[in-house]
Amino acid sequence: MGRSKNFVTWIQLTILSSSLWLLLMFSIAALAGQSVVGSIAGTVTDPTGATIPGTDVTLMNLGTNERRQVRADEQGNYRFLNLLPGNYVVTVEKEGFKTLTRQPITLEVQSNLRIDLQMALGETSQTVEIVAATPLLQTQESSLAHVVESRSVQDLPLNGRNVLNLITLVPGVVPQGNTAGNPATANVNGWGNYQIGGGTANQSATYIDGAPINVSYVNGTSLVPTQDAIQEFRVATNNIADHGTFYEFFRNRSVNANNFFLNRVGSPRPAFNQNQFGVTLSGPAVRDKTFVFLSYEGFILRQGTVAINTVPTAAMRKGDFSAPGIPLIYDPATTRNANGEITRLPFSGNQIPPNRLDPAAVALSDMLWPLPNQPGLVNNFQITYNRSFNYNQYTGRVDHRIGDRHALFGRYTFWKKGHTQNAPLQNQTGTGNRFASIQTVLGYTYTIDPTTFLDVRASFLRFTNRTLPLTCCNFDLSKIGPGWTPYQKQVTFSMLPQPRVTGMFNFNTIPVILNTDNAYTLSASLNKVVGHHTLKLGGEFRRIEWYYAQTNSATGTFDFDSGFTSRLPLAAGNAPGSPQNTGYGFASWLLGLPASGSTQQPALSAAYQYYQGLYVSDTFQVNNKLTLNLGLRWEQPGSFAERHGSLTTLDLAVPQPALSQALGRTVTGGLALVESDGYSPKTWQRLHWKLFSPRAGFAYSFDGKTVLRGGYGIAYPPNVVAFSLGPYNSPVNSAVTSMVATLDGGLTPNPRANLSNPFPDGIAAPPGRSQPYLNSLLGQGIQSPLPDQPYPYMQQWNLDLQRELGSGLLVDVGYAGSRGVHLPLYSVNLDQIPNQYLSMGSGLLTQVPNPFYGTILQSAGILGQPTIAQGYLLKPYPQYLWVTADSPSIGDSFYRALQTKVQKRFGSGGVLTGSYTWSHFEGTADVLSPWLEADRFGVGGAYGIQNNNNINPGERSLSSFDLPHRLVISYVVDLPFGRNRRFLSNAGGIKGGLVSGWSFDGVSTFQSGFPLAFITANQNTLVKNFAAGFAGPGTGAGTTRPNFVAGCNPVFPGTEIQRIQRYFNTSCYTIPGPFEFGNEPRVSPLLRAQGIANFDFAVSKKTAVTERFNLEFRSEFFNLMNRKQLGPPNTQVGAAQFGQVTTQINLPRLVQFGLRLGF
């Protein structure tokens, strides 16, 4: 029940019936780690089945020779607690009976084994020895727990040797985003990004040595232990001699396959050189008392990447758009009303006169985009650019025993990663990252008596991230133009601005991030056996600190579309081939007229929160067949406060008397500071003090070969999964200055603002704790959390049947379900025009006298002008452009699954496991970290809410996590040749050395594709003018979904490769009108991206060099069949590449060779 978990040579993968998140536990040479401990219990009987009280039961750990002895109670029951994973032998003695010995008994992490013992009549000097396999059945636990055995941890081929990926072997676990591959090349915050049993991504809780390694940033996993450190468990607990390993794994492009799309255009394999190397050392420092473990791993990768992009031609940069294939461009200065239609006149010859070119646009064009090196207007620039990755990880651990009752351990781990990436245009627009993690853990275990022990853990975790673009942070802004010179002293970080020009290579949100996470954790648990009850009481206290600053638009992010150079400004869209297909994004760029723009200046927020949890659980052995698991947990997850009080909440009820009088109706809504008259708590959401998580389950053993298990529980997920709840997002910690691109809804440009002077009133600095600043936001958009939100929770249940068929074969079939209640959504705009007014259509744009004129400053933009579009006055909070609630708890989910596992253990220690899951997942809640799952849903907007006034049922659909089928087969198999094997067992000398020690290992994965989600490529009037639609509500920030044509079949026949140019029937999707929302569901029930059929395979040869030294050579093949898994197709209706597939999201076949010397 408790979170106090620990670290061992196995990875435990547990989907608890009372827990939403996954608990991962490892051991780096763990000797005294107790939270991974298990138990061995049973009943001693005579040949008739009658119980034998008072027998002496002795248990010995075969790895450490540690012995324990208990006496069976009056019912013949015995129990050993606080047992480390390992191999054991149990011996039973009683006068009048033969001594009974059973071995080996393999105890896995947190396993609770039942070993019943039947004694034979006779003398104690006579011994009956039973050699039997450890039971495969879980007769003591109701939870759906799955353990990856140590042999699999050591030998399965893992791409990047990332042990976290072993959790994908478990039924009900689905990796999201970029979890596969090496930690050095993946997004650090996505290491633990798995969807587990109906939860959403990144909700797992990961523990090493009983200490959490999750951080505040989207609950990310901050540390991945090295694979060889995990392997060292058996070596480190051996008390005889020092042990260690030296290893290196390497790859290069000569044996790797090429990317499908590079092959398609005839590009060669880019450069690729990777080395992963390390050393582990362990042994006793003081015999029988002190053990030491040390490890180091390094990683170096130099990788070339081929990029094919679109850049403006030399003629375009001069304003010449007369080349064939470019739409007609129109002059925004000629906007007029012609017979009731707003229209414009074209530029003569499709060329912009030189005196109309914006000087800043001309200067930036050459700084940002190189000239084409390929023919044509599209994909006319190709280059191979280099990326470098490296990391180093150091670990040291000391275990020390004080007598038989006290055990101490301490561990220190340091990991550092560096990454530099040049831009795909091979200019100065690249970025660099520096990440580091430090974890220190101290543990103490006190065995009070054979039935009672106390375990205490204290830990400190620090994670840092420094992400800086290559032009940051002293770029001379005067190079852009004289209008940019004043900004040099107004911005926090000076760098090149980041334009997004439709049709060109886009410089998408190259961020500046300064991040430090600290976590201080103290946990304790007391375990006690009382009769048939095994009680556990414990608690955990944690202080979390988050120092953070980020800007995605340090000197401005600007969006240039065809709007200001199109013929019809109010057209629903400019889909290719339609009559409205006029205007050109780069033409709008050269005129210096973006559709929108903004810059964000951050302050370093200093946030903190406290987590508190208490729990009690009882494993009640009712009889030899029935076990009950009962528990209750209380949690107070906390909420962020800020050291300087710089946090805000939405106060939707605060009166606005001056605005109410001006409008003639009640106007409310605004922002409130924490610790103020408007909102008194320090935290920006009120604390929840009544969060109780009950758990109840059973396990019933019918005949020793069949077990039925079931359970129900409630769990509360972490409160740091949603990035939008980060304190840095508070308006007082981050000042956004918006470019007012238009004063009339996009009909004409704002004469005061263009690219040469985008912020004529200057750039605002972050104000800090300031109520006057919050009051000054009238006329702009605002966002913050709602303070009074119900806390999300999950109900989970399972019913599972296990059957052991003999010869090490286990079949496990289970049903698992979950229901999410009050789940957070990414964000919701509360200030959308009510649905009943949408039928007014263009009447919403009718200019009327602005009642707020003079009350809202004219410099605020649209809402401060003398006249205003009527639609703005119909909104719930007409004084703002938008009112965004960060992660409101209004979503839900429903998951059900058939989870099956078949496992075969081999006598040599090998294992074959097949896990199959059928599932269905739906709801309104979805992705909370969309940038981590971009490869999964591409450009679709599955996480976004289109119509905020109709969330339920309008936004209910399949979840973007929905996967009907997933099958994973893993195997670790020793070939039956050579010494101590079935064939050629007597082979000696060179022959014996050649044929011995071979093994095959692999993981094969088969999975349905994720469902697709559709959006429109262009904003309609409802979105562009009134901040409707999804994707972070805000003027110019969102879009809508398309309309689905009734009766149309979107599914095309043929393979994915055959449909690469038209993946589905694009005619089934149309653009909604300018004042409409599309009827397409949030996630399509009809179309999916390509699924997975992947084979990872390894062959290894182990050779005994001497009695002490052994050498292992490994060849590992990832994506052995070189199968192409295409990325999702473009699902933006109206985009030039709508329906086309342009990416391969899996890696082509990679070959890795490794050499490991052990002693």
Residues 41, 78 contacting (CB under 8 angstroms)? yes
Span of 340-344, 601-605, 657-661 with lowest mean pLDDT: 340-344
- How many residues make up the chain in this entry? 1159
Structure pTM? 0.86
The pLDDT tens digits of the residues spanning 809-850 come to: 999 999 999 999 999 888 888 999 999 999 999 899 999 999
Stretch 63-89: mean pLDDT = 82
Count CB atoms within 10 A of the CB of residue 405: 12
pLDDT range class, residue 185, cuts 50, 70, 90: low
Predicted pLDDT of residue 24 = 40
The pLDDT tens digits of the residues spanning 1086-1116 come to: 999 999 999 999 999 988 888 788 899 999 9
The pLDDT tens digits of the residues spanning 120-175 come to: 887 766 666 655 555 555 555 655 556 666 677 777 888 777 777 777 888 888 87
Three-class secondary structure assignment of 430-491: CEEEEEEEEEEEEEEEEEEECCEEEEEEEEEEEEEEEEEECCCEECCHHHCCHHHHHHHHCC
Span of 452-461, 601-610, 643-652, 825-834 with lowest mean pLDDT: 825-834
The pLDDT tens digits of the residues spanning 771-800 come to: 999 988 999 889 899 999 999 999 999 999
Stretch 662-689: mean pLDDT = 93
Stretch 17-39: mean pLDDT = 41
Distance, CA of 160 to CA of 183 (rounded, Å): 7
The pLDDT tens digits of the residues spanning 267-323 come to: 788 888 889 999 988 888 887 788 888 999 999 988 887 778 899 999 999 999 999
User: Nearest 5°: CA angle at 141, between 136 and 147?
Assistant: 50
Instruction: State in Å, rounded, how far the first CA of the chain is from the last one.
Output: 39
Span of 177-181, 220-224, 418-422, 594-598 with lowest mean pLDDT: 177-181
Residue 915's beta-bridge partner residues?
901, 968
On the question of pLDDT at 567 being above 60, the answer is: yes
On the question of pLDDT at 44 being above 80, the answer is: yes
Predicted pLDDT of residue 526 = 93
User: What percent of the chain clears pLDDT 70, i.e. is strictly above it?
Assistant: 88
The pLDDT tens digits of the residues spanning 738-770 come to: 898 988 878 899 999 999 999 999 999 999 999
The pLDDT tens digits of the residues spanning 608-617 come to: 999 999 999 9
Three-class secondary structure assignment of 75-101: CCEEEEEEECCEEEEEEEECCCECEEE
Predicted pLDDT of residue 231 = 44
On the question of pLDDT at 27 being above 80, the answer is: no
The sign of the CA dihedral 316, 318, 323, 325 is: positive
Distance, CA of 1061 to CA of 766 (rounded, Å): 47
DSSP state of 773: H
Residues 261, 39 contacting (CB under 8 angstroms)? no
Q: Residue-wise over 198-221: b if at least 16 C-beta within 10 A, else e?
A: bbbbbbbbbbbbbbbbbbbbbbbb
Residues 760, 753 contacting (CB under 8 angstroms)? yes
Compute the mean pLDDT over every residue in the chain, rounded to the nearest whole number.
84
Predicted pLDDT of residue 578 = 44
On the question of pLDDT at 205 being above 60, the answer is: yes
Closest to 407 measured CA to CA, from 444, 441, 440:
444
User: What percent of the chain clears pLDDT 90, i.e. is strictly above it?
Assistant: 44
On the question of pLDDT at 575 being above 50, the answer is: no
The pLDDT tens digits of the residues spanning 918-976 come to: 999 999 988 777 777 665 555 445 557 788 888 888 889 999 889 999 999 999 998 88
Span of 32-46, 68-82, 452-466, 1107-1121 with lowest mean pLDDT: 32-46
Pick the more confident residue, 881 or 420: 881
For strand 1015-1016 and strand 1043-1044, is the pairing parallel, antiparallel, or unpaired? unpaired
Domain(s) of CATH 2.60.40.1120: residues in the chain: 11-144
Class of domain 11-144: mainly beta
Stretch 884-905: mean pLDDT = 92
Span of 183-197, 435-449, 889-903 with lowest mean pLDDT: 183-197
Stretch 242-255: mean pLDDT = 82
What's the token pair of residue 1045? 């044509």
